[in-house]
Chains A and B, each alone.
Chain A
Amino acid sequence: DAGVTQSPTHLIKTRGQQVTLRCSPKSGHDTVSWYQQALGQGPQFIFQYYEEEERQRGNFPDRFSGHQFPNYSSELNVNALLLGDSALYLCASSYGTGIDTQYFGPGTRLTVL
């Protein structure tokens, strides 16, 4: 049984570019949450998707957007990249919207130059 998978593993972009990160939830899970983890910091909640809708959102600008597909997989899009967007982006999945039951993927390391 595969856990949460994320792609790509690493990514390098330049300022102003756009990026798309992908997440496949653990089998049987229908909810996906995205987090940004800067170096030396704890994860920060970006948003949560359930039933293909954004259910909850943290304090992130509109440059951060997402999507959930009918098979429950999800994408995180970031437009107009800034140097400060460099971070590990974590995806977590759960059955239902309970944050306390989520499983995290290994993350995508984004570097913005």
Chain B
Amino acid sequence: GQQLNQSPQSMFIQEGEDVSMNCTSSSIFNTWLWYKQDPGEGPVLLIALYKAGELTSNGRLTAQFGITRKDSFLNISASIPSDVGIYFCAGLNRDDKIIFGKGTRLHILP
């Protein structure tokens, strides 16, 4: 079946650093979504991307829909402690079914 490969699996960074993570697939997706999940909670939508090449920002977060439609990137600038959590990418395929990646775990060192 279709899979999304998310990398890195985990990141350890200093507060104030910028963060980059990505999601790739061998399949084409029509929509890319980025979520954040905190412990004991469900995922929360951060950014939705609908067109190839689209670049969208939400505060310190910026995401891009790859022009091949097979990848997406999420950047977080000037990280703060509340950015800690698990970030998931998800894609909607041609059948409008959603596929999630396995997540990138973000840790911020004191």
Residue positions of A touching B, CB distance < 8 A: 4, 40-45, 56, 58-59, 90, 92, 99-100, 102-107
In the docked arrangement, what's the CA distance between A82 and B97, Å?
Answer: 25
In the docked arrangement, what's the CA distance between A52 and B2, Å?
Answer: 28
- B44 interface residue per 8 A CB criterion: yes
In the docked arrangement, what's the CA distance between A19 and B6, Å?
Answer: 32
Closest A residue to B6 using CB positions: A42
Residue positions of B touching A, CB distance < 8 A: 1, 4, 6, 31, 33, 40-45, 48, 88, 90, 92, 96-103
Judging by beta carbons under 8 Å apart, are B102 and A90 in contact?
no
Q: Which of A59, A102, A103, A105 contacts B1 (CB 8 A)?
A: A59
**Chain B positions within 8 Å of A92 at CB level:** 42
In the docked arrangement, what's the CA distance between A36 and B41, Å?
Answer: 14
Judging by beta carbons under 8 Å apart, are B97 and A45 in contact?
yes
15 contacts between A and B (CB under 8 A): A40-B103, A41-B103, A42-B4, A43-B100, A45-B98, A90-B42, A99-B92, A99-B96, A102-B45, A104-B42, A104-B43, A104-B44, A106-B41, A106-B42, A107-B42
Closest B residue to A3 using CB positions: B42
Q: Known pairs A40-B103, A42-B101. 5 more at Cβ < 8 A?
A: A42-B6, A59-B1, A99-B33, A102-B45, A106-B40
Closest B residue to A97 using CB positions: B96
In the docked arrangement, what's the CA distance between A106 and B101, Å?
Answer: 19
Judging by beta carbons under 8 Å apart, are B42 and A56 in contact?
no
In the docked arrangement, what's the CA distance between A43 and B92, Å?
Answer: 13
Judging by beta carbons under 8 Å apart, are A100 and B102 in contact?
no
**Chain B positions within 8 Å of A106 at CB level:** 40-42
CB-CB nearest 9 A-B residue pairs: A104-B42, A42-B100, A100-B48, A99-B98, A43-B100, A42-B88, A90-B42, A104-B43, A42-B102
Shortest beta-carbon distance, A60 to chain B, in Å? 12
**Chain B positions within 8 Å of A40 at CB level:** 102-103
Judging by beta carbons under 8 Å apart, are B97 and A56 in contact?
yes
Judging by beta carbons under 8 Å apart, are A56 and B96 in contact?
yes
**Chain A positions within 8 Å of B98 at CB level:** 45, 99
In the docked arrangement, what's the CA distance between A107 and B41, Å?
Answer: 7
